[in-house]
Amino acid sequence: MLRHTLNWLAQTGSVTRLSLETIIERKGACATSVFGIAGVVAVFVAVLSIAQGFRHVMTRSGDPTKAIILRSGSDTEMMSFFSGPESRLIADAPGVAHSAAGPLASRELFVVINLPKRSTGTDANVPLRGVSPNAFEVHDRLRIQQGRPFVPGRNEVIVGIGAAREFVGLDLGASIRVGRNDWTIVGLFTAEGGLAESEIWTDATMLQSAYQRGNSYQTVVVKLTSPQVFPAFQHALENDPRFQVKALLQTDYYIDQSRTVYNLITGLGTLIAALMAVGAVFGALNTMYTAVAARTREIATLRALGFGSSPVVVSILLESLLLALLGGLLGSAIAYWVFDGFRAATMNWQSFSQVAFAFRVTPSLLIQGILCATLIGLIGGLLPALRAARLPVARALREL
């Protein structure tokens, strides 16, 4: 039995070496197959890296020591609403961290304004968020990169660097039209790659009056004393008879928010890749059929000399797999060099505004791409291999 297996392996080894040595002579067809598969993998990985990049921004935005409070029944802050007194009561809930000035709670409202995109010149929505004066203590990942924070009570805004990159006119010192007045851009900020970088921030009170919102807010963001207090915090708020609210950890909130877009891009990417993969399978099939046809005589000769049919099958499959792997590696490399870090913006369908992000070609995506190539290679090699195996030797020899 062992002897049998060793013999089989030796046969397979030598037949495979023979077929690999002939690749040079068939380099045209092989290159077509390799590049076809590389194309599929590159597109597959690139499209999925969009979804990864998008999700990355959304999860980056979350912080487990922060909670966001919405009116119950609203899935997004767009639909949420609190009166001024309600928002104050929320800020006083147990578990909220305090500074000398009071609870670390930012009462926020949110509008969208239209600005032309730098890339296309067409208008798109930019979130303009009004926050409490102590927002920088609550949103402690925010850093002013250039300029200074806005001063409460003035028509001043600060702009996230993602938004500044995406939109025309969001430069330090420039001004933008909000409501009836021009507001000055006094600072640019970063948020460790989070969603806030795609927004414009200002003083909530100024925004309320500019948009005639009275004393109303949409969300309250609080900093908790620790992530562990969240269940108690949530229980206290959601069972308070004075208002109907729901509390979410910021991390969960953002993952929720990104789900639609993530699934959409992933689904679309998989669909495009699947369609292209069908084409690549035919390319690989063609390559391997040609290879088998060109080698009918050699295969028949080897079989006449006593080589078994399964080593022939395996050698053809191995060759097809090898070409596919080459294609997969090439495609992954292309996707990595071209797309990793590539900057883009997309609609965040929950807030109907733009989210700036960078494509992320992660190691797991590269592995998925190579697996996809392997699959194409297997399918493309199987039929030609079986055909070669079924070839009756006597008949094949006389077809020469």
Partner 1 sequence: MDSPPLPPPILIIEAVEKQFRRGTETLHILQGIDLQVRRGEFVALMGPSGSGKTTLLNLIGGLDRPSRGRVAIDDQRIDQLSDRRLAAWRARHVGFVFQLYNLLPVLTADRNVELPLLLTSLNKARRRQQVALALRVVGLTDRARHYPRQLSGGEQQRVGIARAIVTDPTLLLCDEPTGDLDRKSGDDILDLLQALNRDHGKTIIMVTHDPHASARATRTIYLNKGQLSATAVA
Where does this chain bind ligand ATP (CB under 6 A)?
395, 398
Residue 40 CB, nearest approach to partner 1 (Å): 30
Instruction: Identify the residue whose tokens are 């929720």.
Output: 256
DSSP secondary structure string, 152-195?
A: TTSSEEEEEHHHHHHBTT--TT-EEEETTEEEEEEEEEE-TT-G
Closest CB to ligand ATP belongs to which residue?
395
Tokens of 334: 């292309």
| 188 φ/ψ sector (left φ>0, alpha ψ -120 to 50, else beta) | beta
Residues 17-36 contacting partner 1, CB under 8 A: 18, 21-22, 25
Q: Cα(323)–Cα(332) distance, rounded to whole angstroms?
A: 14
The 3-state secondary structure of 63-126, one letter per residue: CCCEEEEEECCCCCHHHCCEEHHHHHHHHCCCCECEECCEECEEEEEEEEEEEEECCCCCEEEE
Shortest Å, Cβ 301 to ligand ATP: 17
Report if residue 387 touches partner 1, rule: CB under 8 A: no
Q: Which structure tokens are listed for 87? A: 């928002």
Please tell me the count of residues contacting partner 1 according to CB under 8 A: 26
The answer to whether 1 contacts partner 1 (rule: CB under 8 A) is no
Of partner 1, ligand ATP, none, which one does residue 180 interact with (CB within 5 to 8 Å by kind)?
Answer: none
Interface segment toward partner 1; rule CB under 8 A; list 27-35, 333-341, 348-356, 386-394 = 386-394
DSSP 150: P
Burial of 353 (0-12, 13-18, 19+ CB in 10 A): buried
Q: Residue 312, interface with partner 1 (CB under 8 A)? A: no
The binder of partner 1 chosen from 167, 307, 336, 359 (CB under 8 A): 307
The nearest distance, CB 48 to partner 1, in angstroms, is 40
Residue 101 binds which entry of ligand ATP, partner 1, none, with Cβ cut-offs from 5 to 8 Å by kind? none
- Which member of 1, 2, 9, 11 binds partner 1 (CB under 8 A)? 11
| 202 interface partner picked from ligand ATP, partner 1, none, CB below 5 to 8 A per type | none
CA distance 178 to 197: 19
Binding of partner 1 at residue 314 (CB under 8 A)? no
73 phi, psi to nearest 5 deg: 95, -10
| Position among 302, 324, 365, 379 found at the interface with partner 1 (CB under 8 A) | 302
Q: Tell me whether strands 353-358 and 343-348 are parallel, antiparallel or unpaired.
A: antiparallel
Closest approach of partner 1 to the CB of residue 33, in Å: 19
**Cβ nearer to partner 1, comparing 101 with 400:** 400
- The per-residue b/e assignment along 26-52, b for 16 or more CB within 10 angstroms, e otherwise, is beebbebbbbbbbbbbbbbbbbbbbbb
- Pick one of partner 1, ligand ATP, none as the site partner of residue 22 (Cβ within 5 to 8 A by kind): partner 1
Contact positions vs partner 1 (CB under 8 A): 3, 7, 10-11, 14, 18, 21-22, 25, 297-298, 301-309, 392-394, 397-398, 400
